[in-house]
Amino acid sequence: MSLIASLGAIEIGLIFGLVALGVFLSFRVINFPDLTVDGSFPLGGAVAAALIVAGLDPFAATAAAIVAGAAAGALTAWLNVRLRIMQLLASILVMIALYSINLRVMGKPNVALINDPTVFTLFEFAGLPDYVLKPLVLLVIVIAAKVLIDLFFASETGLAMRATGSNPRMARAQGISTDKQTIVGLALSNALVALAGALFVQSQGGADISMGIGTIVIGLAAVIIGETILPARSLIITTAACIVGALLYRFFIALALNSDFIGLQAQDLNLVTAVLVAFALLVPAYKRKLAKLLPGKSKAAPVIVKEA
């Protein structure tokens, strides 16, 4: 794997780290299986791309994308808590509606941003090549998002949101409006995903209507890979694990792209990625089994003794 390919995997992994954080918020924290992300990821991209092409400042365009994503998430939650539409169906309805809305926002299926200003071009004064600059800028954004989320979860509202997810009855008994928490939670989750979409189009040269396909799958896979590899009770570590999971997932794809030497072909890419992810999920389980078989409390020491 070349340096540029690795940095490319990091760059896209960081963007999907934001998606993973959003999916973690909906699926894990407020316990809402939300598929809106397949629509809010391209929504963020569509809004950002359309506004940048219209001449707006890239930062303002990205902010508008975040607001649009929050609105989409709030709509899904509203359909569920007010109109009592089942969670999955509510999110599916918003997701498919967003396909048409995204086409309206862009005016056509593909809006190119190849030589337009983006949040990345603003940092070009540093003189770094594009493939180093983009991951660096993204790293700062993703860390900032993670820290803000950690602070939010430690705040009173954040704790109320966590209570809503883990025990809604108890939460209501404590005077928490679980409906309001669900709406705010999904808005926040989809705002993160739309931010990811806005950054994706700015780093990849354009928004395409097909860019949302499979976002939820990648986001969920990242959350689960992260949880398996870095199991923890502390939310600070779990949010970090989401980002690590997204990075690993992109590295598996980069590895799968380089698997032609064992006779695999382009059409096998998704299969190879799936097998690699499955292996990654198996490793911690086997590590625990091995640890149980070995005597003593120390897990690592006996192995070293054997080798010596």
Partner 1 sequence: MQHSFLRSRLTAMALALAATAPFAHAAEKSVAVTAIVEHQALDAVRDGVRDELKAAGFEAGKNLKYEFQSAQGNTGTAAQIARKYAGARPDAIVAIATPSAQAVVSATKDIPVVFSAVTDPVAAKLVKGWDASGTNVTGVSDMSPLDKHLELVKRVAPNAKRVGVIYSPGEANSVAIVEALKKAASAAGLVLVEAAAPRSVDVSSAAQSLVGKVDVIYAPTDNNVMSAFEGIVKVAQASKIALVAADTDGVKRGAVAALGLNYYDIGRQTGKVVVRILNGEQPGKIASQTSTNFELHVNPAAAQKQGVTLSEELVKSAKFVVR
Residue 101 to residue 106: CA distance in whole angstroms: 9
Let me know: does 206 contact 112? Beta carbons within 8 Å: yes
Q: Which of 84, 108, 169, 233 is the binder for partner 1 (CB under 8 A)?
A: 108
Task: Between 66 and 246, name the residue whose CB sits nearer to partner 1.
Answer: 246
Q: Which parts of the chain fold into alpha helices (H)? A: 3-23, 37-53, 58-81, 87-106, 130-154, 156-166, 168-173, 178-204, 215-229, 235-257, 269-293, 301-307
Let me know: does 276 contact 252? Beta carbons within 8 Å: yes
Residue 200 to residue 294: CA distance in whole angstroms: 46
Alpha-carbon dihedral sign for residues 16, 18, 22, 23: positive
Size of the site for partner 1 (CB under 8 A): 46
Cα 55 to Cα 46, 74, 200, 209, distances in angstroms:
14, 28, 19, 21
Residues 4-43 that bind partner 1 (CB under 8 A): 4-9, 11-12, 16
Stretch that binds partner 1, among 167-175, 208-216, 225-233, 292-300 (CB under 8 A): 208-216
Task: Find the shortest distance in angstroms from Cβ 165 to partner 1.
Answer: 28
Residues 117-136 that bind partner 1 (CB under 8 A): 130-131
Is there binding between residue 54 and partner 1 (CB under 8 A)? no
Residue 180 to residue 10: CA distance in whole angstroms: 36
Task: Between 80 and 203, name the residue whose CB sits nearer to partner 1.
Answer: 203
Alpha-carbon dihedral sign for residues 234, 238, 244, 245: positive
Q: Which of 235, 258, 275, 294 is the binder for partner 1 (CB under 8 A)?
A: 258
Task: Between 183 and 253, name the residue whose CB sits nearer to partner 1.
Answer: 253
Q: Which of 33, 89, 147, 260 is the binder for partner 1 (CB under 8 A)?
A: 260
Task: Find the shortest distance in angstroms from Cβ 54 to partner 1.
Answer: 15
Task: Between 8 and 226, name the residue whose CB sits nearer to partner 1.
Answer: 8
Residues that bind partner 1 (CB under 8 A): 1-9, 11-12, 16, 99, 103, 108-110, 112-115, 130-131, 200, 203-206, 208-211, 213-214, 218, 250, 253-254, 257-258, 260, 265-267, 269-270
